[in-house]
């Protein structure tokens, strides 16, 4: 699964611009599915028959998009102004290498601002807002810059895919290429029942793709596979760490977007225990994912979320444990025989 994950982390797929990644995923899963198509929003929808039909229609979702930025204007001297796409901590912008999907190819640049020695003491130590920053792509003028990029082009902070520290993975876009990798492996596996798998778009800017897909599919049960913040570093008290690396998938009882189906929540934990699969409960009511849109569709959808613990999420160097990736896959696979009768 790690080779698949590395392949998925390579293309840029900022919210609203997911087609490059969608094409890669479609080529991966199409031979293993009964029907694969994209809807008008860009969601990739995959239907796969299992050993038996389930009593309920089951949807499993992971989002393709990642946080990034969009080019909003170009200055006369060829510097690019930008706006964030999704939630990015402004503290990490300055000095970062970026990659932009330009007119003909990927365009590299660096995020800069006024040098600190030209700022007051107070300003030099402050966190700079994105409207105080610019991207330098080496252009000498506005006309020179516009030969390579256009307004509306998207890009990301770059980060290499690195194996390190005894089973740790570092990369950008692990939220939620991890979920996509798990979903791809599921579609290549023999399943206990029929499922509809959805690789959703625009999760990072309002859970939009999931709402559109679920409205069309009208599932009875939905399982969302995502990444969630692990704060298990430094001197943070245990009750505030949210979740931990190397302790398995994270099962949520509630977040800022959804109070999860209690029977599914308990069933997931029991399935993990019965099958000796590592799992942990999310120790915070925080964040949200595609569940927030899905559970409200039509007459309501019974929804659960299983997430990958991820340190430094939404940064160019997020970190997961490969063991957790395998645990989430094993847990979802073991869960299907249990929920097919619901």
Catalytic residues: 203
Q: Give the gyration radius of the chain's Cα atoms.
A: 21
**DSSP class of 25:** H
Length of the chain: 342
| C-beta atoms surrounding 218 within 10 Å | 12
Residue with tokens 């009964």: 34
CA–CA gap between residue 52 and residue 243 (Å, rounded): 35
Judged by DSSP in three states, 47 sits in strand
| C-beta atoms surrounding 52 within 10 Å | 13
DSSP-derived pairing of the beta strands 249-251 and 302-310: antiparallel
Residue with tokens 């939009």: 208
- 243 alpha-carbon distance from chain centroid: 17
């Amino acid at each position: 699964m790690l080779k698949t994950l590395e392949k998925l982390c390579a293309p840029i797929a900022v919210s609203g611009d997911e087609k490059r990644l969608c094409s890669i995923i479609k080529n991966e899963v199409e031979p293993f599915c009964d029907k694969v198509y994209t809807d008008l929003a860009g969601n990739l929808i995959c239907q796969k028959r299992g050993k038996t039909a389930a009593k309920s229609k089951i949807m499993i979702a992971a989002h393709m998009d990642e946080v990034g930025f969009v080019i909003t204007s170009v200055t006369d001297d060829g510097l690019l102004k930008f706006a964030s796409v999704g939630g990015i901590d402004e503290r990490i912008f300055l000095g970062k290498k970026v990659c932009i999907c330009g007119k003909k190819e990927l365009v590299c640049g660096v995020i800069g601002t006024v040098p600190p020695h030209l700022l007051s003491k107070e300003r030099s130590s402050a966190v700079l807002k994105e409207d105080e920053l610019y991207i330098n792509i080496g252009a000498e003028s506005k006309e020179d810059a516009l030969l390579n990029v256009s307004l509306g082009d998207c890009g990301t902070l770059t980060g290499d895919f690195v194996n390190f520290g005894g089973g740790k993975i570092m990369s950008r876009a692990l939220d939620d290429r991890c979920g996509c990798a798990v979903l791809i492996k599921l579609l290549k596996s023999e399943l206990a029942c029929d499922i509809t798998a959805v690789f959703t778009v625009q999760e990072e800017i309002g859970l939009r793709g999931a709402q559109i897909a679920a409205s069309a599919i009208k599932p009875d049960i939905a399982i969302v596979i995502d990444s969630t913040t692990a704060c298990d570093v430094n001197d943070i008290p245990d009750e505030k760490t949210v979740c931990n690396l190397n302790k398995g998938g994270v099962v949520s009882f509630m977040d800022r977007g959804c109070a999860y189906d209690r029977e599914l929540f308990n069933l997931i934990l029991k399935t993990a225990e019965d099958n000796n699969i590592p799992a942990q409960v999310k120790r915070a009511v925080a964040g949200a994912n595609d569940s927030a849109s899905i559970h409200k569709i039509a007459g309501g959808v019974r929804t659960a979320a299983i997430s990958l613990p991820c340190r430094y999420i939404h940064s160019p160097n997020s970190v997961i444990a490969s063991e957790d990736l395998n645990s989430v896959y094993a847990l979802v696979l073991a869960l299907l025989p249990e929920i097919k009768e619901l």
